[in-house]
Amino acid sequence: MTQVASRPADASGVFRLDGSLPVNRLGYGAMQLTGPGVWGPPKDPEEAVRVLRRAVELGVNFIDTADSYGPFVSEKLIRKALHPYPADLVIATKGGLSRPGPGDWRPLGRPEYLRQQTELSLTHLGVERIDLYQLHRIDPQVPLADQIGELRLMQQEGKIRHIGLSEVTVSQIREARKIADITSVQNLYNLANRQAEDVLDYAERENLGFIPWFPMATGQLARPGGPLDTLAKTYDASPSQLALAWLLHRSPVMLPIPGTSSVSHVEENTRAAQITLSDAEFQALGKAV
């Protein structure tokens, strides 16, 4: 009991990536640890370091980042805060989006670029192998076989352990799985936006990890006065906790990665793992938002 209270993320339960690599289902997304437009350093780099360390203290052992967050600002902060890494920590990064400037994201999936970015992520994170490397976007200008093929090659070379996809359709996942083993999918999904329901159902059937990005609708579901504010009071929870508890209830393959730049919010969000919704409460929340 004491252990769960001090490590609330443990209460979210374990999911095994590819049936083998265990993570607590409630993780942390490290995109907020950058400047405006996900560009440059965060306003308070010391607080960013504290957020990462606190997340791990709270039992979070699954952290999502990307080369393009900063670029490289988020990955370098993770290394600064947490290296040498706890043995059970799984860092998932991504590549495949170029960053010409703040707020500007453009798919770039040429194999030599994916390889360059993977090499840079290995250096910036300070690891010999990346546990989960996600293709941030499929580049429509490059054959899928070249993009996934390069990741598979790097997997065979020992630079990548597992391969994931991001913002894809079910048919794209099926195509990618003809080329390499795919371990996870990361799509936009939250209480207020469930357009990826078919991808989530597919992930659940196939036991792929489903990582919902914008799990709190970029904070819209977490803010006081937001759509969950009144309901949260009846549950004796905060709006962000309700949004995350709903996700955790939705599927056993769900791995939410709430983002925040503040220690108090990472504490609040991680405690969502200790909230258990009944099926009726889950349905009611789904209808309310």
For 143, other C-beta atoms within 10 Å of its C-beta total 11
Based on the shown chain and the rule CB under 6 A, indicate whether residue 222 belongs to the binding site for ligand NAP.
yes
For ligand NAP, the nearest residue by Cβ is 259
Based on the shown chain and the rule CB under 6 A, indicate whether residue 117 belongs to the binding site for ligand NAP.
no
| Owner of token pair 């906790």 | 241
Q: Fill in the per-residue mask, 131 to 170: x = in contact with ligand NAP (CB under 6 A), - = not in contact.
A: -----------------------------------xx---
Based on the shown chain and the rule CB under 6 A, indicate whether residue 257 belongs to the binding site for ligand NAP.
yes
Q: Between residues 64 and 281, which has the closer beta carbon with respect to ligand NAP? A: 64
Q: Long-range contact list for 260-266, CB < 8 A, 24+ apart? A: 260/32, 260/51, 261/32, 261/33, 261/42, 261/43, 261/44, 261/47, 261/48, 261/51, 262/47, 262/51, 263/47, 263/50, 263/51, 263/54, 265/222, 265/240, 266/28, 266/51, 266/54, 266/55, 266/58
Binding range to ligand NAP, per CB under 6 A, among 13-21, 114-122, 157-165, 218-226:
218-226
Give me the least distance between CB of 280 and ligand NAP, in Å please: 25
71: preceding bond cis by omega (within 30 degrees): yes
Count of residues interacting with ligand NAP (CB under 6 A) = 27
Contact residue for ligand NAP among 67, 139, 268, 281 (CB under 6 A) = 268
Rounded to whole angstroms, the Cα distance separating 47 from 288 reads 35
Give me the least distance between CB of 84 and ligand NAP, in Å please: 23
Active site residue 235: no
Give me the least distance between CB of 91 and ligand NAP, in Å please: 11
Based on the shown chain and the rule CB under 6 A, indicate whether residue 223 belongs to the binding site for ligand NAP.
yes
Based on the shown chain and the rule CB under 6 A, indicate whether residue 218 belongs to the binding site for ligand NAP.
yes
Residues 6+ apart with CB under 8 A from 128: 122, 158
Report residue 74 as tokens: 């988020």
Based on the shown chain and the rule CB under 6 A, indicate whether residue 215 belongs to the binding site for ligand NAP.
yes
Residue type, 30: A
The dihedral built from the CA positions of residue 64, 70, 76 and 81, taken in this order, carries a sign that is negative
Contact residue for ligand NAP among 61, 269, 277, 281 (CB under 6 A) = 269
| Binding to ligand NAP in span 57-116, by CB under 6 A | 64
Crossing angle, helix 263-270 and helix 45-57, to 10 degrees?
20
Rounded to whole angstroms, the Cα distance separating 207 from 204 reads 5
Based on the shown chain and the rule CB under 6 A, indicate whether residue 214 belongs to the binding site for ligand NAP.
yes
* Sites of contact with ligand NAP (CB under 6 A): 29-32, 64, 166-167, 186, 213-219, 222-223, 240, 257-262, 265, 268-269
Catalytic residues: 69
